[in-house]
Amino acid sequence: MSTRTLKQLLVHTYLTLFTLPIIAMIVWYFLAATLNFTTGQFSFENFSFFREPVEYAGVELPLIWPIVLNTLVYSFLIVFLEVFISVPTAYAFSRLDFKGKNAAMKFLFLMRSFPGITLIIATFFILVQMHLVNTYLGVLLVAVTGSLPGRVYIMKGFFDEVPWDIEWAAMVDGCTRYGAFKKVLVPFVLPGIGAISVFSFLGAYGEWFLFKLLIFNDDMLTLAGYLARLVTKEDQILNYGLITAIGLFYTLPIIVFYIFTQKVFMKVNLGGAKQV
Amino acid sequence: MITLSNIVKEYEGKQESGRAVDGLNLEIRKGEFVALLGPSGCGKTTTLMMLAGLLKPTSGEIHFNGKLVNHTEPKDRNIGMVFQSYALYPHLTVRDNIAFPLRERKMPKREAYERAKETSRILQIDHLLDRKPSQLSGGQQQRVAMARALSKDPEILLLDEPMSNLDARLKLDVRDEIRKIQRKLGVTTIIVTHDQEEALAISDRVAILNGGRIQQYAPPHELFNHPVNLFVASFLGSPPMNLILGQLKESGGRQTVLTEGFEYELPAERRLEKEHMGKTVRFGIRPHDISICSADQPGSLRMKVDLVEHLGSGKLVKAMDPEGRLDTMIRLLTGNEVQVEAGDDIYVTFKADKFHLFDTENGGLNLTQHV
């Protein structure tokens, strides 16, 4: 055996050993959802949540399908709001001169790295004052405000990459400033818009904390919040099988989503503007 | 006709003296091809941007056909512009790129595409209409940029260093082609370039800029033969003009330039006004206006050859004065048939009708009369 193959063998053994626990976890995950551990047989009894409301050990949750609808509506609304606000804001930060731009930019950066959870008590009180607790509007407001600085920051990076020549060309070719933004700059930063859309969607899809904090009606939950409610009042998880089953149902769309979007966003097509 | 009068452009807070353009006057006739030429930072691109309306002058007036356009938006100026980077829209096909300005004018799609096709035929890119800019070579992108600028039949075509991203050979072809198309369409064209050869070859008149001001605005041959000042003289020409330091003297009816030990007599027909006598000047002579002669020719100067460069069409000789009478080495061009080598002693004379005398003060004004 040459030293090279020996080396490779060592490396591969090492890597395999360290990957095994992760693989084991995933395998366990699937097994826990589909295997009845007492009888040792495959069963789909954990998936009965598709048909009837969940009820066990004092936890009562509504049927999952309205929750799925909530999740989709909430997630896409978040994506829409964040894109709609962050793209023009980022354009302004990247391209326009206005008073206090630098200060605002610094503040933005500070907010991006600020742990939002420390503000949650004040946030709650403000929402109470505004009568927005237990409403979607309240959750949307808090969620969008929290993630906007990061989205704006990423989008600004994309706008910074657009050569001025392109914008000028559009203006010479008959566009107003806004026209140039809409017809030339937005298509140019489309990969960036795609990226922040994915981030916002994933963020919204995984949002459980705000729902736990601000929503008291179980039928208003989204999937992540629904999963969080499965933990009983005493913070003990009783039915592992059910949790993993719902967890699996919750994860599947994300995996599919990843497989597709990854391909789309790798196909970034730019050219025709050699930057000086 | 385009008129720029007293244009000043200040950039805020960038430098202490942030004047990119400092009192610029320029007049461009209809159908004329004008080049703005100068070293980087001379204000030529700023001037072009003001013509396009992408920058607003701090003061001064810009008129298109007698109409003040200082506050007219770029989109309302009816200009076509080609950028150095070409600035094609990467998400659109070549066809849509060329049709873009037309579509912005609310021209129906079919008609716009028809026009795009016609324009692309002029530039010989009609076989590329369905491609995206990223699938084109640099030269093709450049043509697309030209087509896009021309498709809307602009009154003024602005070219911002349009050829600086092309390789040397292609540059020559594109240059000729731009000139041909410009003649054919008769569109008033302004090109910004730092390449003097390009500027002289392509344009009817060249404006040489330095420090935000026009130094000279004239047809190419005039710039070359009658530079108004030291800057124009030293900027134009490759190899550059020889500029020898000396002093103007008059005695016994003879006018001379005196260097450290060499006296050059000005010919009678090129005498200067008396007021100039005593001034320190630069004696300017182009390399091809110096010739090698025999030792006994009157007024000849003995030089020692330092270096000979073969240019293909001739030789560039760099020579030093071993006695230190001239403050600088001189460059001269000779034919290939002349035998000179480094280390040789040669005698040179200056063509009496070709030299210039530049004042070392007063902005390097050319004191010699235009013949």
Tell me the pTM. Answer: 0.82
Intervals of CATH 1.10.3720.10 along chain A: 62-237+253-267
Closest residue of B to A276, CA-based?
B85
Is A22's Cβ below 8 Å from some Cβ in B? no
* Amino acid (one-letter) located at B68: L
Distance (Å) from the C-alpha of residue A183 to the closest C-alpha of chain B?
9
* Contact state of B88 with A276 under an 8 Å Cβ cutoff: no
Going by C-alpha positions, the residue among A213, A80, A192 that lies closest to residue A144 is A80
DSSP symbols for A176-238: -HHHHIIIIIHHHTHHHHHHHHHHHHHHHHT--HHHHHH---GGG--HHHHHHHTS-TTS---
Please measure the distance between the N-terminal and C-terminal CA atoms of chain B and give it in whole angstroms. 30
* Contact state of B84 with A166 under an 8 Å Cβ cutoff: no
- Would you give the DSSP letter of residue B34? E
Is B154's Cβ below 8 Å from some Cβ in A? no
Per-residue pLDDT at B299 exceeds 90: no
* Contact state of B75 with A274 under an 8 Å Cβ cutoff: no
Please report where in the chains the tokens 């016994």 appear, as a residue.
B252
Distance (Å) from the C-alpha of residue A139 to the closest C-alpha of chain B?
37
Distance (Å) from the C-alpha of residue A174 to the closest C-alpha of chain B?
4
* Amino acid (one-letter) located at A158: F
Is B105's Cβ below 8 Å from some Cβ in A? yes
The rounded distance, in Å, linking the Cα atoms of A48 and B73 is 66
The rounded distance, in Å, linking the Cα atoms of B241 and B328 is 12
Q: Are B173 and B188 in contact (CB under 8 A)?
A: no
The rounded distance, in Å, linking the Cα atoms of B217 and B25 is 10
The rounded distance, in Å, linking the Cα atoms of A206 and A225 is 8
Q: Which helix (H) or strand (E) holds A166?
A: helix A164-172
Per-residue pLDDT at B16 exceeds 60: no
The rounded distance, in Å, linking the Cα atoms of A60 and A54 is 6
Q: In this structure, which CATH number among 1.10.150.300, 2.60.40.1180, 1.10.3720.10, 2.60.40.10 belongs to the domain A62-237+253-267? A: 1.10.3720.10
DSSP symbols for B91-158: TS-HHHHHHHHHHHTT--HHHHHHHHHHHHHHTT-GGGTTS-GGGS-HHHHHHHHHHHHHHT--SEEE
Going by C-alpha positions, the residue among B8, B48, B49 that lies closest to residue B25 is B8
* Contact state of B86 with A190 under an 8 Å Cβ cutoff: no
Is A97's Cβ below 8 Å from some Cβ in B? no
Instruction: Give the pLDDT mean for B133-152.
Output: 92
pLDDT confidence of residue A169? 94
Each residue's pLDDT tens digit, A136-184: 999 999 999 889 988 998 899 999 989 999 999 999 999 999 999 999 9
The rounded distance, in Å, linking the Cα atoms of A93 and B243 is 51
pLDDT confidence of residue A267? 47
Report chain A residues whose CB lies below 8 A from the CB of B56: none
Low-confidence stretches of chain A (pLDDT beneath 50): 267-276
pLDDT confidence of residue A236? 67
pLDDT confidence of residue A234? 66
**Mean pLDDT rounded to a whole number for chain B:** 90
Q: Are A218 and A212 in contact (CB under 8 A)?
A: no
The rounded distance, in Å, linking the Cα atoms of A222 and A66 is 9
The rounded distance, in Å, linking the Cα atoms of B215 and B84 is 24
Distance (Å) from the C-alpha of residue B128 to the closest C-alpha of chain A?
14
* Contact state of A175 with B75 under an 8 Å Cβ cutoff: yes
Is B90's Cβ below 8 Å from some Cβ in A? yes
Q: Give the orientation angle of helix A164-172 with respect to helix B44-52, to 10 degrees.
A: 40
The rounded distance, in Å, linking the Cα atoms of B160 and B33 is 13
Instruction: Give the pLDDT mean for B44-70.
Output: 93
- Would you give the DSSP letter of residue A118? G
Is the dihedral angle over the CA atoms A41, A42, A43, A49 positive or is it negative?
Answer: positive
Closest residue of B to A189, CA-based?
B91
Q: Are B158 and B79 in contact (CB under 8 A)?
A: yes
Q: Are B360 and B280 in contact (CB under 8 A)?
A: yes
Size of interface A-B (CB pairs under 8 A): 99
* Amino acid (one-letter) located at A114: F
Q: Which of residues 212-271 of A touch B (CB under 8 A)?
A: 269-271
Q: Which two tokens stand for residue A266?
A: 């790798």
Distance (Å) from the C-alpha of residue B33 to the closest C-alpha of chain A?
20
ipTM: 0.84
The rounded distance, in Å, linking the Cα atoms of B358 and A211 is 83
Q: Are A178 and A170 in contact (CB under 8 A)?
A: no
* Contact state of A169 with B105 under an 8 Å Cβ cutoff: no
Is B101's Cβ below 8 Å from some Cβ in A? yes
Q: Are A93 and A157 in contact (CB under 8 A)?
A: no
pLDDT confidence of residue A275? 39
The rounded distance, in Å, linking the Cα atoms of B132 and B361 is 56
Distance (Å) from the C-alpha of residue B88 to the closest C-alpha of chain A?
5
Q: What residues have CB less than 8 Å from B109, skipping those under 6 apart?
A: B99, B103
Report chain B residues whose CB lies below 8 A from the CB of A175: 75, 104
The rounded distance, in Å, linking the Cα atoms of B250 and B258 is 10
Q: What residues have CB less than 8 Å from B212, skipping those under 6 apart?
A: B9, B19, B20, B21, B22, B23, B24, B42, B43, B46
Q: Are B235 and B39 in contact (CB under 8 A)?
A: yes
Closest residue of B to A173, CA-based?
B101
Is B133's Cβ below 8 Å from some Cβ in A? yes
Q: Which two tokens stand for residue A162?
A: 């657009």
* Contact state of A176 with B73 under an 8 Å Cβ cutoff: yes
Report chain A residues whose CB lies below 8 A from the CB of B104: 173-175, 179
Going by C-alpha positions, the residue among A89, A10, A74 that lies closest to residue A203 is A74
Per-residue pLDDT at B371 exceeds 70: no
Residue from the list A170, A190, A269 with its beta carbon closest to the beta carbon of B132: A269
CA distances from A198 to A70, A203, A264, B316 (A): 18, 8, 11, 65
Cis omega (within 30 of 0) for bond into B239: yes
Decide which of B245 and B273 is more confident. B245
pLDDT confidence of residue B140? 92
Q: Which of residues 153-212 of A touch B (CB under 8 A)?
A: 163, 165-166, 168-176, 179, 184, 187-188, 190
Q: Which two tokens stand for residue A113?
A: 């790295």
CA distances from B160 to B116, B142, B146, B192 (A): 22, 12, 11, 5
Lowest mean pLDDT among A14-23, B191-200, B221-230, B271-280: B271-280
Closest residue of B to A270, CA-based?
B90
